[in-house]
Amino acid sequence: MSAYFRPVLLTLLLSATFEARLPAQAWRGLVDAHVHHNGDAAFLDKMIARLDAVDGTAFLLTLPKDLESVQAAIGKHPNRLIGFGSIKLDDPNALAQVERFHAAGFRGLGELSGPLKSFDDKTYAPLFAAAEKHRMIVLFHTGIVNRTNPDVPADISVDRMRPTTLDNIARRYPKLTLIGAHLGNPDYAWAAEVARWNPNLYFDVSGSTLIKKQEDYAFFKSVFWWSGIASPHTPKGGPSAFEKLIFGSDVFGGELEEFDRELERYGKMLDVCGVSPAAQANIFGGTLRKILAGAK
């Protein structure tokens, strides 16, 4: 564990489990771009304690019904929580909800999931245009999605949520920052490729991927292959292609041990792939802090 963290961690009443699992690469200033709020105040208290340990911030994905309570929590902890409005793209009130979340000081939208049409369908254009106007970050679910109740019919298709659908949105709205959750699981190569040429598109690798690939983390070097390559076929930018990743835990209320485990998985994968400390600093928070600062 980095000596930089030890004095901070030892002063907090956090579990020994969390301290043991915190990887050395979990930089001070962590930003978690993917935390689901379930309306539980006790969950928020625990999450804030986790973030205090690393001077971190979480994007708190919030249903419209919880807007006021989360707005109050953000007011008490402005350095720890950033509100994201969890709207449904096909809700007839979706555009009004975007404006409502923006007026409440929320900085983004998401996690968008379960659309009735492809993410890049033109009928959703007013929503993305409004998000771009307000400089709101948009988090999309990409790839496979679970079935919480397989006995209930649902009009949900992973084909509408492929990472390739974000390519068109990123190009149409160049000032809109997009995050694709789960690196398009299992379309990892496509996710990386559309991120490669869209400077406003990033992915997290939360969910089952880092569990599924835990015996082959070096695989990701073949996905983020263009590190350090000078060519007209690669974009100009930082030295590491892995900087198209940002950290997301995808924790739900009451599942904070998964936050700890996801930090550990990210750190192990990035170490196996030889990602530099400077690039890891951006993945764990630097990139999103720069975006947030520029979006004000």
pLDDT tens string, the chain, 296 residues long: the values are 343 333 333 233 334 444 444 444 446 899 999 999 988 888 899 999 989 989 999 999 999 999 999 999 999 999 999 999 999 999 999 999 999 999 999 999 999 999 999 999 999 999 999 999 999 999 999 999 999 889 999 999 999 999 999 999 999 999 999 999 999 999 999 999 999 999 999 999 999 999 999 999 999 999 999 998 888 888 776 679 999 999 999 998 667 888 989 999 999 999 999 999 999 999 999 999 999 998 75
Domains in the chain (CATH in brackets) are: 27-144+155-294 (3.20.20.140)
Pairing of strands 81-85, 57-62: parallel
Q: How far apart are CA 238 and CA 235, in angstroms?
A: 9
Q: Are 58 and 43 in contact (CB under 8 A)?
A: no
Tokens for 161? 């949520």
Tokens for 74? 């953000």
Q: Are 260 and 21 in contact (CB under 8 A)?
A: yes
Q: How far apart are CA 117 and CA 119, in angstroms?
A: 6
Tokens for 1? 């564990």
Strand partners, 60: 35, 83
pLDDT value of residue 24: 42
Q: What is the 3-state secondary structure (H, E, C) of the chain?
A: CCCCCHHHHHCCCCCHHHHHHCCCCCCCCCEEEEEECCCCHHHHHHHHHHHHHCCCEEEEEECHHHHHHHHHHHHHCCCCEEEEECCCCCCCCHHHHHHHHHHCCCCEEEEECCCCCCCCCHHHHHHHHHHHHCCCEEEEECCCCCCCCCCCCCCCCHHHHCCCHHHHHHHHCCCCCEEEEHHHCCCHHHHHHHHHCCCCEEECCCCCHHHHCCCCHHHHHHHCCCCCCCCCCCCCCCCCHHHHECCCCCECCCCHHHHHHHHHHHHHHHHHCCCCHHHHHHHHHHHHHHHHHHCC
Q: Which residue type, as a one-letter code, is found at position 129?
A: A
Tokens for 285? 């928070």
Angular region, 106: left φ>0, alpha ψ -120 to 50, beta rest: beta
pLDDT value of residue 254: 65
Please state the pTM of the whole predicted model: 0.90
The Cβ of residue 17 has, within 10 Å, a number of other Cβ atoms equal to 11
**For residue range 35-48, what is the model confidence (pLDDT) as tens digits?**
999 888 888 999 99
**For residue range 281-294, what is the model confidence (pLDDT) as tens digits?**
999 999 999 999 98
pLDDT value of residue 235: 79
**For residue range 153-183, what is the model confidence (pLDDT) as tens digits?**
999 999 999 999 999 999 999 999 999 999 9
Q: Cis omega before residue 111 (within 30°)?
A: yes
